Structure 1
Amino acid sequence: MEEGAIVVSEPSKKRARIIDDLQSSSIIVTDASNEPNLNNDDEDERYSGLKAPIMLLTGHQGAIYRIRFSPCGEFCASGGADRSIFLWEVYGDCCNYNVLTGHKNAICDLTWCNDRTIATASADKTVCLWDTHAGKRKRNFKGHRGFTNAVCAAKSGNSLASGADDATAVLWDQRSRGGAVVTMHCGRAVTAVEFDQEVDRLFTGGIDDTLKVWDLRQTNAPILQLYGHENTITDLALSPDGKTLLSNGMDSKLFAWDIRPFVAPASSSSSESENRRLAHFLGAKHDFHRNLLGCSWSSDGSKISAGSSDCIVHIWDFATADELYYLPGHQGSVNDVQFHPKEPIVASASSDLSIYFGEIAP
């Protein structure tokens, strides 16, 4: 397939209904030919602009590792083992309106820099920028000497950060065709990166099980190290208010951390890590495949979700740590779950080569 080729997906042959029951949070999937009437009872109340409460998207030829909504919420991008970035419309028939190709190995992570530009991290050791309107690659950043596992874009400005198996986290300037701006030596392979809101600090996680905080004005060593995970940290996600960081780990632990610059000690004997660890969310699983499972926040910060190897989409209430939704449907590891930026919609990406858009109660 040529770079930037357009591929239009077939309409989904299945539809589903979400039963709004927080005790069971079950999903019922029915064939389109046997689809129930969606307009005759209170259970059919709709909460979003999706064409149906659940939309199934297919087209990838390998496991899907990451999925992300565009900031405007009109589009979605997915990437994975087939080395391709699929671009989807969120509404209507959820058409696959473009496929971007050019990476020489799996796409491990991706993020939207703005409504037009996507950054990707790949096992081919590169970080790339893509123009989704033109359908082509605009930058190819080289410098990592190992698989590039993670990438994030600053909330403001033009900075990108990436983490790789070469034990470095690197800052890049989106406007530059040159090499790395700053390189941080992390000691062990880096599998997750995230900026704070002010782009003053960078958070990294890796195979040393440690969450590191870096001051971007002085990057010789991390200014803080937080402990609690007992295996590789697979993803990091900053809360909408910028005060809390979510970390997912291969120890099947999902933590929320207070990452404000100063936190008063809970007691004279408590450690910094204990002071900053706000919550532990139970339910999500990791398995021997050791995929870098994602995690995410709803746009209002009230809900969180995480990838899970048990084929389930897990959604929790952040304030109480109670599991709100336990959503089956996938036939393989759920590698990533993302919330829509404006509506009560979640997107899940799986090793079963499928994506679901699902509507939940607000």
Structure 2
Amino acid sequence: MSRTRKSSNLCDDKIAGKGSSTSQGPNEVSDYLDHEIAQLTKLRSRPHELLSRDVPGRSRLPVSTMRMLVGREGNYSGRGRFSPADSRHVSSRYLPVHGPCKVDQLNSRTYVSQFSDDGTLFVAGCQGSHIRIYNVDKGWKIQKDILAKSLRWTITDTCLSPNQRYLVYASLSPVVHIVDIGSAATESLANVTEIHNGLDFSANNDDYDEFGIFSVKFSTDGRELVAASSDNSIYIYDLEANTCSLRVPAHKSDVNTVCFADEAGHLLFSGSDDNLCKVWDRRCFISKGKAAGVLMGHLEGITFIDSRGDGRYFISNGKDQTTKLWDIRKMSSNAKEYTPRLRDSDWDYRWMEYPPHAKSLTHPRDQSLTTYRGHSILRTLIRCYFSPEYSTGQKYIYTGSSDCSVYIYDLVSGALVATLNHHEGLVRDCSWHPLYPMIISSSWDCVIARWEFPGSGEAPTPVRRRSSLRRYL
């Protein structure tokens, strides 16, 4: 594909473009994950065996909250209190599926929505140049209303700095802007009421007009940004030196997503339209300039990657209508990239339905641990995540969907445990509060909605999903 053709495609939307239910998803029980991560997940969210027993030597699963409370009061475990795993077992049983209630309605399609690491702030970015930052602890009061500068097509990504003082936002442009959100002013009009400093990533790239940023993340120390771009590259920007310090030609097509593997910041995960996930060791960038390893399994491009935060496991959403779980210890170190062509070459996810015959296809060299199916990934770069460690032990994964819903899967069994149905437009992004049972979904219907656990305290009653999928019109 020529660079001219590719540039026009960017503006067409590389990105462009009720109620809740629970049920078992398309993944069969036979797909039950038998791997180390399954055991780690159980350890994080399994109650102490003495709290789960009516009679010594006998246990039943799942363990009821009442039985666990009785066990705690009777000090069956000998600790006199719940352990973190006990608490997660209780809280993870009550999914945030009640509602929703409307947080806000913006004036254009919402593309990005994320809680801060401590859950006190929530960021929403939309196509119409607006980014709103809400103070969650103050009744969702708008703390900052930002009108973005030099926007190309839409906000593609935002990220809060680790100290929650600054926000960066990206669009289909080589310039990422940074805003001081700690200032007193609520209204932040670019370079009118406040300065939005431009960080130019094009220093190592001559193709300025065809260069856009799809994903941008702060390093854990807040000193650098890592970005994924439409010129097939990963970029590192040194904030202290105020310069783009490194460009890595990472893939053979657009790099849609990049993230840090853990808090150390040495490892990066990237995903591209070349269908590959890659692992990068920053300590080897200069000496080798190549990936530490490659992971194959998706049949179409990767739209998003989320790390489990342990430097080993991550999940990815793909345009082949799947989410996949990966262990980097299974990566190919020789980087021999093999991607089969298993569908019609003229298929384009931005305006076409996925070919029905392709849904049953599998990669002959799939290196993923397991695959989750049920949601749909069309028209835009839809995102997926692990559920929070604090409240669920990362027991679930969840994703937006082009059929206007949010899907929640059990990480180990692969079962679809809940579907949040409300929106009238596709859900590109969603975010689970790091501490509380609360999910925020943002949609192309311009609505930001909040889901919580049922007010009665009861676990959700299973209801079958709709048999047909709604299309966004």
How far has the Cα of 1:93 moved from its partner?
4.0
Q: CA deviation at 1:273?
A: 6.4
Q: Equivalents in 2 of 1:312, 1:54: separation in Å?
A: 12
Structure 1 213/243 Cα, relative in aligned 2: closer, same or farther at 3 Å? closer
Q: How far has the Cα of 1:24 moved from its partner?
A: 9.2
1:184 to 226, 229, 248: 248
- The amino acid of 1:131's aligned partner reads D
Q: Name the residue aligned to 1:215.
A: 281
Quick one: distance in 1 between partners of 2:284 and 2:104? Answer: 45
Which residue is 2:156 aligned to? 108
Q: Residues 148 and 164 of structure 1 are in contact (CA less than 8 Å); yes or no, is this contact kept in structure 2?
A: yes
Residues 83 and 273 of structure 1, relative CA distance in 2, 3 Å threshold? farther
Aligned runs of 1:175-254 on 2, under 5 Å? 175-178=240-243, 180-186=244-250, 187-197=252-262, 198-219=264-285, 220-254=289-323
In the alignment, which of 283, 300, 319 is matched to residue 374 of structure 2? 283
Whether the aligned pair in 2 keeps the contact of 1:85 and 1:101 (CA below 8 Å) is: yes
Unaligned runs of 5+ residues in structure 1 are 1-15, 26-45, 264-270
Matches of 2:224 and 2:127, distance apart in 1: 26
Q: Is the 8 A contact 1:127 1:162 kept in 2?
A: no
Alpha-carbon distance, 1:325 to partner:
0.9
* Counterpart in the other structure of 1:4: none
Provide the identity percentage. Answer: 23
Q: Deviations over 1:108-164 (max 9, x none)?
A: 011222222222221233222222111555542112431211112223452211111
CA distance in 2: counterparts of 1:360 and 1:194, whole angstroms: 30
Give the direction of change, closer, same or farther, for the CA distance of 1:273–1:204 in structure 2 (3 Å limit): farther
**Amino acid in the other structure paired with 1:338:** S
- Listed as ranges, the matches of 1:19-168 within 5 Å are 22-23=22-23, 54-91=100-137, 93-105=139-151, 106-114=154-162, 115-134=164-183, 136-137=194-195, 139-144=197-202, 145=208, 146-168=211-233
Per the normalisation by structure 2, the TM-score is: 0.61
Q: CA deviation at 1:73?
A: 0.7
Counterpart code for 1:298: S
**Corresponding residue for residue 259 of structure 1:** 328
Distance 1:313 1:339, change over 3 A: same
Once residues 314 and 257 of structure 2 are traced to their aligned partners in structure 1, the CA distance between those partners, rounded to angstroms, is 12
Alpha-carbon deviation of 1:297?
1.5
Please give the alpha-carbon distance, in whole angstroms, between the structure 2 residues aligned to 1:148 and 1:223.
23
Mapped contact 2:388–2:432 kept (Cα < 8 A): yes
SS of the residue 1:107 aligns to: coil
Which one of the candidate residues 405, 418, 423 is aligned to 1:330? 423
- CA distance in structure 1 between the partners assigned to 2:364 and 2:373 by the alignment: 22
Structure 2 partner of 1:8:
none
In structure 2, the CA distance between the partners of 1:203 and 1:24, relative to structure 1 (3 Å rule), is closer
C-alpha separation in 2, matches of 1:80 and 1:259: 34
Tell me which protein shows more strand as a share of its residues.
1
- The correspondence for 2:384, drawn from 292, 295, 302, is 295
1:170 aligns with 2:259: no
Is contact 1:121-1:162 (8 Å) kept?
no
- CA–CA separation in structure 2 for the residues paired with 1:109 and 1:272: 33
2:168–2:176 contact (8 Å) kept in structure 1: yes
The one-letter amino acid of 1:281's match is Y
| Number of residue pairs the alignment of both structures matches | 313
Offset at 1:80? 2.4
Distance verdict in 2 for CA 1:320–1:347, change over 3 Å: same
Within 1, Cα distance between the matches of 2:415 and 2:330? 28
**What is the CA–CA distance in structure 2 between the aligned matches of 1:163 and 1:94, rounded to whole Å?**
31
Determine the C-alpha separation between the residues in 2 that align with 1:56 and 1:176. Answer: 42
Cα separation, 1, equivalents of 2:158 and 2:365: 29
CA deviations over 1:29-84 (Å, ceiling 9, x no partner): xxxxxxxxxxxxxxxxx999x9x953312342221111110122111001121122
What letter matches 2:382 in structure 1? L
- Amino acid in the other structure paired with 2:374: G
Does the Cα contact within 8 Å between 1:68 and 1:112 map onto a contact in 2? Answer: no
Task: Classify the secondary structure of the residue corresponding to 2:156.
Answer: strand
In structure 2, the residue corresponding to 1:218 is in which secondary structure?
A: helix
